Structure 1
């Protein structure tokens, strides 16, 4: 059973349960020319996510060089923390962490609340909306635009580029053109912030320094792509998958409406049960690595199934039960170790405000079609719905 095939896209949990039972790691055909080793059990996944023998620097490997994208464009998109190992990763994370602070994220709360309110205000007088396209997608994108200081007049274009790059079904040529245009735009925006700094994150990143060290142009543009593609997609799927889970479990939806103190643990359960990022990005084994007695050879591409690990019965009691009040929910939805998602607090903040708004305004929220008929987006990395049409009243 292929973990990224059609059956696993629509109903992944039984597929991953079989994979966990059969072996701790599986060699799978990723493309006609590439295989990868998929880690499926929690303890192995947690170890793999922080194993220095599994390198994140795959720039010179065939799976990267075979993409057909120009070297200079890949450098402008991939020179970020998620594509580097220590000491370069340590340097980049230190520089970014110096300005992407808990205080800065907390200060975004009024902006996130305003954006959520404006989007929900736009539903006035309507009976049916697509919560993905009209709420889950634009909310975090607008937050990122506010965070970076993207001018209001440019946000529709910025959204179009990002949507094209993110869409897994989009043709390669369209994604390449969008990435090229966005890279040029971000470089120009960086120069604008350098000449006329403001209070936004991008200005702070441009001027961030540590003992004379600064982010290069490629590192700055790559960080924008990382915020956009990694941070934005995580929150889109957190919101969409969370609403899907609540609509699938009306008794738990009623429970959450009655007791809002359950919202923080409910968000953690959304993240665990339908992990927004179902598989980690590529790692390459710099030497042989063993998982449960199975040897992964040096040079192999390794992927970690976060979605499978988050349903491991050795760690989570009754893992197929959706429980918004689940205690000690040590899920791996944001990764683990040195590459743990720096934007996790922002995703949680956006999730809290997004769900609070929906629960407050739409007490009769329900799906417009059987939930089993909804389409999940195909692909190896992300777990999210294509659309989520709902009735508001």
Structure 2
């Protein structure tokens, strides 16, 4: 058994080049070993697990807890007030299952399918607006014009969030992941906290038929969750229901534009779209890491000893490019046979909104490709700007235009 020493000069793999293209860094780490003691950009020490078989197994290992009370040192994630921190990403076992049951019925495949008309209508309206804008100007940002507002419209409707509050909420969440100045994370969390407290109070006074009203009724009538758990659930569903889907629509379109043969095949056979989305979830999902975990007892991973209470990061993006699992993993292939990715989690923490996310991505991309068949990048690929975040590989903008002539 080996043990990696903890030293003041831990490797810091997350440099400027990483933010633009993280995958060469992951390849070097996988080749060097299965587990690495590294420092995050803020200097926090973590153990980074990079190979697919280890990541897949550890996602369901009961010795790894997401509960921060098991942390002794290192990275713990965002510092959130109690009203935002009591969410499913910080709870294990019975508490996790209790809260999950309260909201799982809203995201069953049947209920999600009932949202199809609403999602398609929102996608059509946004595509119309984008097309009209591209008639009057040479380019437009797909992120702000389509990818961001589509899931916001859907999850906002589920919670009946007032229209004027939806874009600010999305901006605050984005600033949490990629702040422009040191104080912006705390400022954004403060905005989100006060917004959700106010929203819950207003909905409690004037209940409706939305998901938030149902959670409030469960809190007030059956005492099935605390007030902090109520607000934290609202925070998690609104954040997760918009953040990842937004970025996968934009990075998904970029991936298709970067691979014209794959795009042509998809246009020729639209029935390939569900498989294409699964490949995009493997190849281009914005989440680089699973939620941080803490061993509840000393742990050994491939001969590396990890003390209880240290922070363990399971690198999903590296696992998805592991050649030991996926043949030619850096190749984007919408006909790939092995599509058993980890983008939506595994086990207890499998994404609650997975059916809705898949539907939104499929309908969003399908609508863009049908309604704007000549959509193209408006700038050279090298001019695209990515978030400066080790957690989320996401575009800050995606300038698009309409080609003058069809070339494929």
**TM-score past 0.5 threshold:** yes
Residue 374 in 1 paired to residue 384 in 2?
Answer: yes
User: Which ranges of structure 1 fall in alignment gaps of 5 or more residues?
Assistant: none
Residue 154 in 1 paired to residue 161 in 2?
Answer: no
Matched residue, 2:149: 138
Residues matched between the structures, number: 388
Instruction: Name the CA shift for 1:156/1:363 in 2 (closer, same or farther; >3 Å).
Output: closer
Instruction: Name the CA shift for 1:383/1:157 in 2 (closer, same or farther; >3 Å).
Output: closer
Matched residue, 2:308: 298
Asked whether the equivalents of residues 173 and 243 of structure 2 are also in contact (C-alpha less than 8 Å), the reply is no
Asked whether the equivalents of residues 161 and 179 of structure 1 are also in contact (C-alpha less than 8 Å), the reply is yes
2:108 to 101, 104, 109: 101
After TM superposition, give the deviation of residue 213 of structure 1 in Å. Answer: 4.5
The farther-off stretch of 91-100 and 81-90 is 91-100
Matched residue, 1:265: 275
After TM superposition, give the deviation of residue 372 of structure 1 in Å. Answer: 3.2
Residue 226 in 1 paired to residue 233 in 2?
Answer: no
Residue 90 in 1 paired to residue 97 in 2?
Answer: yes
In 1, Cα distance between the equivalents of 2:356 and 2:92?
A: 24
Residue 317 in 1 paired to residue 327 in 2?
Answer: yes
In 2, Cα distance between the equivalents of 1:147 and 1:4?
A: 37
Q: Deviations over 1:250-295 (max 9, x none)?
A: 1111111111011001001111012220111211112122222222
In 2, Cα distance between the equivalents of 1:118 and 1:32?
A: 42
- What root-mean-square deviation, in Å, do the aligned CA atoms of Structure 1 and Structure 2 show? 2.3
The farther-off stretch of 124-133 and 76-85 is 124-133
The farther-off stretch of 169-178 and 101-110 is 169-178
After TM superposition, give the deviation of residue 188 of structure 1 in Å. Answer: 2.8
User: Which ranges of structure 2 fall in alignment gaps of 5 or more residues?
Assistant: 1-10, 404-408
After TM superposition, give the deviation of residue 209 of structure 1 in Å. Answer: 7.2
Asked whether the equivalents of residues 162 and 228 of structure 1 are also in contact (C-alpha less than 8 Å), the reply is no
Matched residue, 1:6: 16
SS in 2 for 1:356: helix
2:34 to 14, 18, 24: 24
SS in 2 for 1:145: helix
SS in 2 for 1:87: helix
Instruction: Name the CA shift for 1:177/1:297 in 2 (closer, same or farther; >3 Å).
Output: same
Instruction: Name the CA shift for 1:98/1:297 in 2 (closer, same or farther; >3 Å).
Output: same
In 2, Cα distance between the equivalents of 1:220 and 1:132?
A: 30
Matched residue, 2:51: 41
After TM superposition, give the deviation of residue 60 of structure 1 in Å. Answer: 7.0
Asked whether the equivalents of residues 366 and 391 of structure 1 are also in contact (C-alpha less than 8 Å), the reply is yes
